[in-house]
């Protein structure tokens, strides 16, 4: 009889950026922040320039600002090379001691008001 291992749980990690407006939380996690007023910004359009560069057109969510601006999203480095070989891209590798170790939030850390829960009603 073959003893089967129980399936490993999928790794959970909170969403690290938001493109919605509102609150300090959204600002901290926003992908784009207006350089003039620090409000979160919407990405209105994006254009892939190369494999390693993308240009984003952003729009400040602060109605009292209204700044529109262009951003550049640039590939920085690889943490783990994955299974596809693309030596033509010449992607730099992150030094091992700088690779981030991102862990899921603790099970009892449920203080994030933006996190939906399936077990509400308590
Ligand atoms: Zn602004």
Instruction: Report the C-alpha gap between 65 and 41 in whole angstroms.
Output: 11
- The DSSP H or E segment spanning 29 is helix 23-29
Q: 25 alpha carbon to ligand 1 midpoint, in Å?
A: 17
pTM for this model (two decimals): 0.60
What spacing in Å lies between the alpha carbon of 53 and ligand 1's midpoint? 24
- Interval between CA 40 and ligand 1 midpoint (Å): 8
Per-residue confidence (pLDDT) for residue 102, from 0 to 100? 83
- Could you tell me the distance, in angstroms and rounded to a whole number, from the CA of residue 118 to the centre of ligand 1? 35
Among the listed residues 8, 2, 71, 7, the one whose alpha carbon sits nearest the alpha carbon of residue 34: 71
Report CA(44)–ligand 1 centroid distance (Å): 14
Q: Which residues contact 62 (CB under 8 A, 6 or more apart)?
A: 34, 37, 39
- Average pLDDT of the chain is 80
Tens of pLDDT along 28-48?
Answer: 677 899 999 999 999 999 999
Ligand 1 centroid to Cα of residue 39, in Å, is 6
Exposure on the CB side of residue 48, measured as CA atoms within 13 A: 4
Asked if 71 and 56 touch (Cβ cutoff 8 Å), the reply is yes
């Amino acid at each position: 009889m073959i003893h089967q291992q129980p399936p490993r749980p999928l790794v959970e990690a909170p969403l690290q950026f938001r493109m919605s407006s509102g609150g300090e939380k959204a600002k901290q996690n926003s992908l784009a922040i207006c350089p003039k007023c620090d409000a979160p910004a919407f990405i209105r359009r994006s254009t892939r320039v190369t494999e390693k560069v993308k240009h984003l057109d952003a729009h400040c969510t602060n109605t009292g600002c209204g700044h529109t601006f262009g951003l550049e999203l640039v590939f920085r480095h690889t943490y783990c090379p994955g299974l596809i070989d693309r030596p033509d891209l010449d992607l730099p590798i992150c030094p091992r001691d700088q690779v981030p170790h991102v862990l899921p939030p603790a099970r009892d850390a449920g203080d994030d008001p933006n996190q939906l829960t399936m077990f509400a009603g308590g």
